[in-house]
């Protein structure tokens, strides 16, 4: 499954994700600058979080609360090895039943179970992206 969307149509991409995901643990793959954080920011808003989401590049994880429960946003770009993810309690987050939105999941792939949804974001043009469920 795939969807092509314009950056000003992020709500379309978010609706597509929420309507088609098989898991609450979403793995966002894509090159630097593809729009992972931007899409996650809109997804967090759609999940009912009042705070504006920002990238947890240095803290590794941001925790948000919504009426639908907790939402966790991870950014593993800067980790050196997957023990850093274990040190922040990644397994507990994954087992929590909460929404887990993970950027740069390739850094921790061996720690992820099967109950995930892989999403690939590809740059089509300056303002157009392709979203693929993998």
Portion of the chain with pLDDT greater than 70, in percent: 97
**Parallel, antiparallel, or unpaired for β 69-75 and 99-103?**
parallel
Kindly report whether the global pTM for this prediction surpasses the value 0.85.
yes
| CA 18 vs CA 15, 47, 62, 65, 109: distances in Å | 5, 9, 20, 18, 23
DSSP character for 52?
P
Given pLDDT bands bounded at 50, 70 and 90, which one contains residue 67? confident
List, for residues 123-134, the tens digit of each pLDDT value: 999 999 999 999
Give the domains, in start order, of the chain with CATH numbers.
2-133 (3.40.50.300)
Neighbours of 42 (CB within 10 A): 17
């Amino acid at each position: 499954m795939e969807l092509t969307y314009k950056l000003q149509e992020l709500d379309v991409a978010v609706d597509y994700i929420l309507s088609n995901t098989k898991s609450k643990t979403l793995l966002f793959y894509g090159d630097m600058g593809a729009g992972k954080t931007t899409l996650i920011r809109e997804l967090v808003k759609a999940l009912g979080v009042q705070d504006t989401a920002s990238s947890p590049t240095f803290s590794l994880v941001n925790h948000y609360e919504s009426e639908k429960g907790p939402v966790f946003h991870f950014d593993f770009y800067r980790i050196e090895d997957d023990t850093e993810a274990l040190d922040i309690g990644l397994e507990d987050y994954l087992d929590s039943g909460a929404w887990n939105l993970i950027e740069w999941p390739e850094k921790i792939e061996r720690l992820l179970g099967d109950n995930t949804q892989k999403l690939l974001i590809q740059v089509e043009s300056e303002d157009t992206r392709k979203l693929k469920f993998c």
